[in-house]
Amino acid sequence: MNKFNKLATTLGLKLDNPTQLELAFIHRSYLNENKSYKTSNERLEFLGDSILSFLTSSFLYDKFPYIPEGELTNLRSSMVKTTTLAKVALSLDLGSYLLLSRGEEEGGGRKNPSILADTFEALLGIIYLQKGLPIVKKILESRLYPLLDNILEEKAYKDAKSMFQELIQEQKRVSPVYKVLSEKGPDHVKEFTIGVFVDDILYGKGSGKSKQEGETGAAKAALEKWKQK
């Protein structure tokens, strides 16, 4: 049994030509050293990313009929982010199938979360082309969607500001206050430094090209400080 037959079996796929799955594993770096390959997996990744977003949106829409759009968006972001998809890729041992340049190989590309996540999306793309949307949906139902329980338990879908606000309101019955500490640079490249305060005590600082970005950084710093208490 060649390696792609093994992967097809693991995924529960019945393919006429499992070797076609190889297209999902051609990293762009490999093309520089192997002229017999003309295209990388990036086009498949583009297709798989769109399919993943659509099916995950549909799954969450049906599962949580009363959750507003903003929370659904945060949940979807947590489910399709690099670290989550990399976990699925690792569970399928996708790294062992990758075609990489020597440099990527030596740099640990087979365990690189970004490469693994992109490869999983590319794999979804080729499976869609070969077997259609229902089969991709089944794979997500068995491999990705079960991770939702852990995401909900850890509140990983919440942004830093929401998490810090909930924490402070629960502990102190007040809301954190964000203040601009400084602004640097001309208007078109201005950088803001924001502080988040609780009872007039500074809990964290963050910087960014917008006030929102600075507030997010401040909230993350405050959460880290709170965990160390």
Active-site residues, by number, are: 49, 121
**Strands of 46-159, DSSP E:** none
Region at 174 (left for phi over 0; alpha for psi -120 to 50; beta for the rest): beta
Cβ 8 vs Cβ 21: under 8 Å = yes
Instruction: Give how far Cα 160 sits from Cα of 80, 212, 219, Å.
Output: 18, 11, 6
H, E, C per residue of 37-76: CCCCCHHHHHHHHHHHHHHHHHHHHHHCCCCCHHHHHHHH
Residue 139 tokens read as 């794979």
